[in-house]
């Protein structure tokens, strides 16, 4: 069967999609993703929806309508957070079910392929599966493997609908995660991202810890790069910081601040105040070479005064994030924040959004300036149509975006650069100010760099582990 996989939203949704692709392929099916051209008719569509904001719910509904219109004869499986919530009540009733053949609850997402095979009587032909091939989703230029390590969250931030949609915390077995990362490495994937709803709490339900998992992945896999997805800024031990002594662990953390005002953080139900957050960033910068922090900010939260907003702007400026994900607060029915008084008018939200965007651009420029002239390894992940012609696009290990002008490859076959870690000299900033521009080293200079990146496990030396 030709199975089309579609998703939107968070990295966790992407991780689930990649896992389903592997499992469908192992049963003899042919999975593909949006954007992959194929002449084969689609037999089954699987949609992983999102509900983190009202806009995400709207886009999920649009996606469902589009896939039904484009694939009228295909059966349809739907899962994800938008199916777990009713927009008006927050109760688990779901979105419009017309045309949906099978609805998979979030609590059953890890068994989606098994349930679909049973409930829809899908043919199973594992003898025809091409298990030696890479995950089919990577054929469209996805060079990162997103690996789900846990689901759900024990905390109840007052704005968060995800806790309601995804339920209590559930950690995957450590050995299962290590095996999935190694499978990605065997397929030629250069970077794995460990992701979860509350990744910092990994292992609390299975007598393990996030530190144990990271140490095991670094010790027992060949993945050249390991990156952490978003983690909450609390509950990190001293052993966590020592793990970054291993050069394969990316010196970048996405630590959601949400607000720089302690008054608003208390209303949000966050477990980290602004002083503790600053101390965490200071510890990270002292412990990790080339550390690069990024964050989330929710503006216009109920009760956010002008003074609260100034505190947030000051905190963001002083910390100096290279990138800020900006969210204008929107009430999510079923959350405590939706019922709070002092809702901020949309006009004020628009002004604050513009102010924060301007500050974020200044901070990004400052981060770029600090790296000009340096030579750094860049994972070239995808093509990008630049103003001067085709370029390749990727990220440094500490997650700064870099564009490479293919014309600067000087005789190199540029197709061979995709999904490779190449040393680039970062010598300018792109015209749109959204990325650094790198030029390659001479061939003789890059050989040693690639050899170092792909050392066998036994030759990499000791792995820093938590006590």
Asked if 143-250 and 253-371 have one fold, the answer is yes
DSSP string of 390-427, one letter each residue = EEEEEEETT--EEEEEGGGGTT--GGGGTTEEEEEEEE
At residue 342, the 3 state secondary structure works out as coil
- CA-based nearest residue to 386, from 363, 371, 406: 406
For range 159-168, the mean pLDDT: 86
Q: What architecture does CATH give domain 375-457? A: Beta Barrel (2.40)
302 versus 460: the higher-pLDDT residue is 302
CATH of the structural domain 2-128, one choice from 3.40.50.12160, 1.10.3210.10, 3.40.190.10, 3.40.50.620: 3.40.50.12160
Mean pLDDT, rounded, of the chain: 86
Q: Is the pLDDT of residue 340 over 60?
A: yes
- Delimit the domains of the chain by residue range: 2-128, 143-250, 253-371, 375-457
Residues in the chain: 467
230 versus 382: the higher-pLDDT residue is 230
Q: What is the pLDDT of residues 316-337, one digit of tens each?
A: 999 999 999 999 999 988 899 9
The pLDDT score that the predictor gives to residue 93 is: 46
- 42-77 b/e (C-beta count within 10 Å ≥ 16 → b): bbbbbbbbbbbbeebbebbeebbeebbeebeebbbb
pLDDT band, very low/low/confident/very high, at 441 (cuts 50, 70, 90)? confident
For range 399-417, the mean pLDDT: 70
Mean pLDDT lowest among 60-64, 211-215, 374-378: 60-64
Q: Is the pLDDT of residue 417 over 90?
A: no
Q: Is the pLDDT of residue 40 over 80?
A: no
Q: Is the pLDDT of residue 445 over 70?
A: no
Q: Is the pLDDT of residue 165 over 50?
A: yes
- CA-based nearest residue to 374, from 423, 421, 326: 423
Contacts of 224 (CB under 8 A, 6+ apart): 185, 190, 191, 248, 421, 453, 454
Mean pLDDT lowest among 93-107, 366-380, 388-402: 93-107
Cβ atoms within 10 Å, residue 114: 12
- What CATH code would you report for 253-371? 3.30.750.200
What's the sign of the alpha-carbon dihedral 183, 184, 188, 192? negative
At residue 241, the 3 state secondary structure works out as helix
For range 247-257, the mean pLDDT: 98
Contacts of 417 (CB under 8 A, 6+ apart): 380, 392, 404, 406, 409
Angle between helix 11-26 and 112-119 (nearest 10): 50
The pLDDT score that the predictor gives to residue 94 is: 53
Radius of gyration of the chain from its Cα atoms, rounded to whole angstroms: 22
Residue 190's H or E segment, with its range, is none
Q: Is the pLDDT of residue 432 over 50?
A: yes
CA distance 68 to 71: 5
At residue 80, the 3 state secondary structure works out as strand
Q: Fold for domain 143-250? A: Transcription Regulator spoIIAA (3.30.750)
């Amino acid at each position: 069967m030709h199975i089309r996989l579609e998703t939107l939203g968070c990295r966790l949704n992407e991780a689930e999609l990649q896992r389903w692709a592997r499992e469908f392929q192992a049963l003899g099916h042919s999975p593909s993703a949006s954007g992959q051209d194929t002449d084969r008719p689609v037999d089954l569509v699987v949609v992983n929806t999102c509900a983190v904001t009202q806009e995400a719910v709207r886009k999920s509904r649009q996606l469902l309508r589009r896939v039904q219109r484009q694939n009228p004869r295909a059966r349809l499986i739907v899962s994800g957070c938008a199916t777990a919530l009713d927009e008006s009540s927050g109760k688990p009733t779901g979105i419009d079910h017309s045309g949906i053949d099978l609805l998979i609850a979030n609590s059953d997402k890890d068994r989606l392929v098994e349930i679909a095979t049973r409930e829809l009587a899908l043919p199973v032909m594992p003898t025809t599966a091409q298990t030696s091939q890479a995950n089919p989703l990577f054929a469209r230029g996805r060079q990162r493997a997103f690996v789900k390590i846990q689901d759900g969250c024990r905390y109840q931030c007052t704005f968060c609908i995800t806790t309601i949609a995804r339920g209590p915390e559930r950690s995957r077995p450590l050995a299962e995660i290590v095996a999935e990362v190694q499978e990605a490495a065997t397929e030629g994937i250069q970077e794995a991202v460990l992701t979860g709803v509350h990744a910092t709490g990994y292992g609390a339900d299975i007598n393990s810890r996030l530190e144990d998992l990271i140490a095991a992945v670094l010790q027992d896999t060949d993945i050249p790069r390991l990156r952490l997805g978003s983690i909450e800024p609390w509950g990190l031990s001293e052993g966590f910081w020592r793990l970054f002594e291993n050069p394969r662990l990316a010196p970048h953390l996405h630590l959601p601040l949400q607000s720089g005002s302690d008054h608003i953080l208390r209303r949000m139900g966050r477990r980290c105040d602004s002083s503790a957050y600053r101390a965490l960033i200071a510890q990270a910068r002292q412990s990790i070479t080339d550390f690069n922090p990024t964050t989330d900010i929710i503006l216009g939260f109920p009760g956010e005064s002008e003074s609260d907003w100034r505190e947030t702007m000051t905190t963001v400026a002083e910390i100096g994030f290279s990138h800020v994900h900006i969210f204008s607060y929107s009430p999510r029915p079923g959350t405590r924040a939706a019922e709070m008084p002092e809702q901020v008018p949309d006009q004020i939200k628009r002004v604050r959004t513009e102010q924060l965007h301007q500050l974020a651009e200044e901070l990004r420029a400052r981060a770029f300036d600090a790296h000009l002239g340096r030579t750094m390894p860049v994972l070239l992940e995808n093509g990008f149509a630049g103003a001067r012609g085709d370029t390749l696009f990727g990220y440094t290990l500490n997650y700064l975006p870099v564009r490479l002008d293919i014309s600067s490859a000087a005789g190199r076959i540029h197709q061979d650069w995709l999904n490779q870690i190449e040393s680039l000299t970062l010598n300018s900033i792109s015209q749109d100010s959204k990325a650094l521009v790198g030029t390659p080293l001479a061939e003789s200079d890059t050989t040693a760099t690639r050899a170092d990146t792909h050392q066998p496990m036994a030759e990499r030396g000791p792995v820093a582990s938590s006590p």
